[in-house]
Structure 1
């Protein structure tokens, strides 16, 4: 298919009108419409099953529409394949990447060229690959010789984007691109998207994360039941509640509405994990959760959170550590043993780990029951009343219990059925790994309500989520995991997304920070620390103690009120509304003196404070020398 001419000034890059598509008896699109301008990021939104993915695939040539017209760069097009779309400059970056794991980064970027006639110049591929990465502002980030199987999720996605640019795509669809990315990786992706937009590309952004929609998009189009219900509306003109109403057709209220007041701090510890090791991903993780409490396991992608809960449930071997349930030691080496002990587990990948597609809804719902059932027969009759009650609570008609294929349901309904599977067994502990991954805002709201109800019954809930807003909105406490180690255990009320991101930073990335703190204490003695300060409370991110006499009274990963530390007077000088002291501030006892310097990165973001505490009688370095060392650290962050 020949390339289309450029659009006239002011003309849309792409318009799709009256698009219909039916799969078997399911109508996925019913007259959908969409418009994209060059140089914009356009959000394509909707609940699960709204048709946004199908429309994206029509635009990208993956699916042929039954009816409708697509006009690209001023000319009607009829795309019969993804090759047709790539030839005219349309590409899609999927949530699950379509890369070849055994090929190198460079080979994947230029994969469409590998089958062409003629001699292939690998030196030329590398040169062009470096040029593409430089155009994205990512030069030196990807090793072009490395096999793709060894890359992180964020790096694989960068390869997909570079691959789209390699075919000179001017329209790129990003389908749920942030689902498996950490907050820092999302920032880098948005920086790339901003650069592409500035260069005149048209970007379609499909996402369930509304905070990201408001951050990166210029306009939004909302679909519901295969139809376009809000077309090309400027994002700035909308509020979150209004956008949700368009998506789900009703007001879902505050999805993070607080649970009914209950005191869990006095409840007994229901579940405890100590010094768990499951190499290579899990090195030393400890946490406990009380009856009726929701405990969040926070961290970046690759920190070892999923591997931790899989080891607890017997899905991967443990080398060390102890597990206690209701105070008694247990040692589940297989999932069946964990289920028998009273532990339920909702895995991250529902299609691969939780659903048997060829079984009916009822059979999928009762899978965990079969694992726990003892005796002759299936024992389904004993669960009938519970199944009926659960179906009503899920809003699923009882006659759909016999539906022959779970994959006929939306991802959100699949997830609710999987959670309900465990509720039939009345577990003492329920572990959920990314429970709302890939589900829409309305379904997320109902899942959140379900989790709050579960906790209210006294079940101990352990939640793994890469969505920090979700983690903070649902959890009572958060244990932060980094590089396979638990490094903080804090009440969720003390944290926000920025604090959690800084706490979750890989310990390997702390090397430069630790080096600066060691340099400070190496020259002056004492103790050096990096901390966040909020009101009259401190959260310590890193600590190096060279002289125990200067111990400031807190450890890395701990939160302390100023009054509960050994340097309360100095800390009170750097809180909001207080002037920063130019030098060291002595405590009333005279036992310690501390200098604090604000830490801001090259973009001016507030990253907390770096402090140096000296014991009584220690030589005091020049304040300006301390400040210069901290500023050197700031330039690297």
Structure 2
């Protein structure tokens, strides 16, 4: 396929024009006269609250859904798509929020799944080479083996394979429907680099997302839908603020998205309600420890593949554990099956809403009461005794009572589904509630409602654990964040001491620190001291990595610790950082600190060396040059 270039097509030329699209599913009208226009070589955001119709419109454009009325024009000609194959032939591909991969096929076979059904010879070696290049572009060359079956992958990894499948099609128009919902900050940045290159090559992209900060960062124009209709068409992104977009999406002003924390009684002195130590579930979970107090929201942060979701599954009895201990309300517990965890007072909302949370053949009411069935003992279903609590939760979550009679949860928007799933566990009044990606794929209004709900249940004494790839979300809702990397918990830091950049650096895989660790080991060994890498603010420090060659030279902190400068053993050296070796007032330690930056000029913190006694005999310039090599 020959792609247009910005030189061959005018900047304002229209590639796709959609008008008057109508579509209903039973009694629910998903699209009511929707319209959309996409130019050559642009990234165009398609936005709206849950249930606004944007995903349905995306499926119409990509051939997944046939409209009842309306017109689709592509490259100046009317387009009538009878199937996704027609769309692919025309050069239109979609990256779905709910992945459409074949679970029993390998990563390689899924990336080229659309080609496997075509006539002609396929070169296996050529496919491997192309797939490897695509995954390298996405930053996944070493972490997504091509011969691994997709069913063995995490939700986030499956999303990356879905993106790779779309890129392999070399399509002229690609729709990204919530592609970043499961991805961490690093994966999102890499995807945006790929999208920018696709745009430069002349491709046109439709970007569907609930993360408005991403929309403002990466798109050229914005179209907003509400209740199946288009309410703002082709607005220049630079002309809109986040508040403007929210107003268009929900038709009203929203307050601060993160609910104000509701202090629970004696929050500081609250007892630990749930604690895990050195949980292991190989190969992904190697040693995870954390404790959550009554009335606290604890965040579990980390990158895709770090082992956060797998640790939660091991705790809940969904994954076999080979080591570790757990205590609930001071009593040792060992959950081998989810039913044991449920009856003990643990609730768990897994990441994948469609696969892990919803039973499509059951009604909405039956889905709501699934956890109740796990905890219920005795004859019958015991639904009646939960009715008062159901009524209370419906009012709290703004859910219409009559929708409980719907035959399928799949008729609900993603936000409505998520509310029902969370309500399922609140019915049981749990002691601990673990939520994995609780706002994945939901609009900003629903996110606000979920955040407020989490603060409310925490204020009632529930210990809440939130797992999220959205670092802004973790910082907004959590009081503390435990960072997981390569299957280990490596840091436990108050959220007030972190920002997104610091959290990203803390969460970096230990394997990516090999060069840094090797240097710290060298300078610590050569000088008989302690080498460290830390993020340092005016009065606080977070240690990312450290290597000890001499315990007597300890700076008073180690990897994963956060503290005030005055709490360290080298406050003077840290206060006077960057000024050569600084000896402490007691003369027992001397410290040299050197700033380091990424190849793009981003601040990566400080690398330091602490030695015992004075700095006599230690070459400042030599150490600086060796540390400076990290900037190359």
**Residues 505-558 of structure 1: CA distance to partner in whole angstroms, max 9, x if unpaired?**
112222221101001112212000000012210000001010111100011111
Q: Structure 1 CA distance, aligned partners of 2:385 and 2:568?
A: 57
* 523-532 or 63-72, which deviates more: 63-72
Task: Indicate conservation of the 8 Å contact 2:565/2:574, yes or no.
Answer: yes
From the superposition, tell whether residues 78 and 519 of structure 1 become closer, same or farther in structure 2 (CA, over 3 Å).
same
Q: Which deviates the most, 105-114 or 521-530?
A: 105-114
- Pick from 312, 316, 319 the counterpart of residue 316 of structure 1: 319
Once the two structures are superposed, what CA deviation does each residue of 1:362-386 show, in whole Å capped at 9, x if it has no partner? 3222222222223333322222222
1:283 to 263, 281, 286: 286
Question: Does structure 2 conserve the Cα–Cα contact (< 8 Å) formed by 1:2 and 1:87?
Answer: no
1:44 aligns with 2:41: no
Alignment partner, residue 595 of structure 1: 592
Distance 1:243 1:408 in 2: 26
Distance 1:372 1:145, change over 3 A: closer
**Residue number among 470, 474, 482 corresponding to 1:467 in the alignment:** 470
Q: What SS class does the counterpart of residue 255 from structure 1 fall into?
A: coil
Give the Å deviation of 1:254: 0.7
Task: Look up the match of 1:241.
Answer: 243
* Equivalent residues of 1:480, 1:486 under 8 A apart: yes
Structure 1 residue 627, shift from structure 2 partner: 2.1
**Could you say which residue in structure 2 is the equivalent of 1:498?**
501
Once the two structures are superposed, what CA deviation does each residue of 1:457-508 show, in whole Å capped at 9, x if it has no partner?
1111111111111111001111111111111111111111111111111122
Cα distance 1:26–1:142, how it changes in 2: closer, same or farther (>3 A)? same
Contact 1:44 1:220 in 2 (8 A): yes
Change (3 A) 1:117 1:410: closer
Partner of 2:213: 211
Query: Is the CA contact (8 Å cut-off) linking 1:7 and 1:13 kept in structure 2?
Result: no
1:153 shift after superposition: 6.4
Alpha-carbon distance in 1 for matches of 2:141, 2:305: 21
- Report if the CA contact (8 A) 2:543-2:562 is conserved: yes
Conservation of the 8 A alpha-carbon contact between 1:265 and 1:290:
no
Q: Which residue of 2 aligns with 1:250?
A: 252
Paired residues of 1:526 and 1:547 also in contact (CA < 8 A):
yes
Is structure 2 residue 595 aligned with structure 1 residue 610? Answer: no
SS at match of 1:13: strand
Aligned counterpart in structure 2 of residue 302 of structure 1, from 295, 305, 316: 305
Question: Using the alignment, how far apart are the partners of 1:471 and 1:268 within structure 2?
Answer: 22
After superposition, residues 207-606 of structure 1 pair within 5 angstroms as: 207-262=209-264, 263-574=266-577, 580-581=578-579, 583-606=580-603
Given that 1:99 and 1:148 are in contact with CA atoms closer than 8 Å, whether structure 2 keeps it comes out as no
Tell which deviates more after alignment, 345-354 or 220-229. Answer: 345-354
State the alpha-carbon separation in 1 of the partners of residues 114 and 75 from structure 2.
23
Is the Cα contact below 8 Å between 1:106 and 1:145 reproduced in 2? yes
The change in CA–CA distance for 1:116 and 1:320 in structure 2 (over 3 A counts) is closer
Contact 2:18 2:37 in 1 (8 A): yes
Q: Secondary structure at the match of 1:416?
A: helix
Query: Where in structure 2 are the equivalents of 1:174-189 lying within 5 Å?
Result: 174-189=176-191
**Contact 2:138 2:187 (8 Å CA) reproduced:** no
1:537–1:99 CA distance, 2 compared to 1 (3 A): same
Task: State the 1:127 CA deviation.
Answer: 5.9
TM-superposed CA distance for 1:115, in Å, is: 4.4
Question: 1 CA distance for matches of 2:423 and 2:140?
Answer: 47
- Aligned-pair CA distance for 1:607: 0.7
Contact 1:46 1:222 in 2 (8 A): yes
If the length of structure 1 is used for normalisation, what is the TM-score? Answer: 0.92
1:39 is displaced (CA, Å) by: 2.1
Seen in structure 2, the aligned counterparts of structure 1 residues 65 and 316 have a Cα distance that, compared at 3 Å, is same
**SS of corresponding position for 1:211:** helix
CA-CA distance at 1:431 after TM superposition: 1.2
Task: Report deviation, 1:348.
Answer: 1.7
Q: Is the alpha carbon distance of 1:395 and 1:589 closer, same or farther for their aligned partners in structure 2, counting shifts above 3 Å?
A: same
Aligned to 1:631: 628
Aligned residue number for residue 199 of structure 1: 201
TM-score by length of 2: 0.93
Q: Tell me: CA distance 1:555–1:40, structure 2 relative to 1, closer, same or farther (3 Å).
A: same
Which segment is superposed worse, 330-339 or 397-406?
397-406
CA distance in 2, matches of 1:312, 1:596: 41
User: Which shifted more, 118-127 or 604-613?
Assistant: 118-127
SS in 1 for 2:14: coil
Q: Give aligned pairs, total.
A: 628
CA separation of 1:132 and 1:502: change in aligned 2, threshold 3 A: closer
Q: What whole-Å deviation, never above 9, does each CA across 1:137-167 have from its counterpart, x for those lacking one?
A: 9797798964563777677656555554554
* CA-based RMSD: 2.7
- Alignment-derived partner of residue 577 in structure 1: none
Given that 1:478 and 1:490 are in contact with CA atoms closer than 8 Å, whether structure 2 keeps it comes out as yes
Is this contact kept in 1: 2:315–2:335, CA < 8 A? yes
Secondary structure at 2:67 match in 1: coil
CA contact (8 A) 2:539 2:564 kept: yes
Q: Distance in 1 between matches of 2:131 and 2:293?
A: 52
Conserved? CA contact 1:550–1:592, under 8 Å: yes
Moved more, 34-43 or 620-629: 620-629
Alpha-carbon distance in structure 2 between the residues aligned to 1:9 and 1:431: 48
- 1:23-58 per-residue CA deviation (whole Å, 9 max, x = no partner) reads 233221111111112222111111111111111111
Q: 1:27 to 1:137 in 2, by over 3 A?
A: closer
Task: Determine the structure 2 residue equivalent to 1:25.
Answer: 27
> Deviations along 1:225-274, whole A, 9 cap, x unmatched?
11111111111221212211211222221111321345522111111111
- Give the deviation of 1:633 after TM superposition: 2.1
Question: Do the aligned residues in 2 keep the contact of 1:220 with 1:235 (CA within 8 Å)?
Answer: yes
Question: Displacement of 1:592 after TM fit?
Answer: 1.0
- Unaligned stretches of 5+ in structure 1? 575-579
* 8 A contact 2:182–2:437 mirrored in 1: no
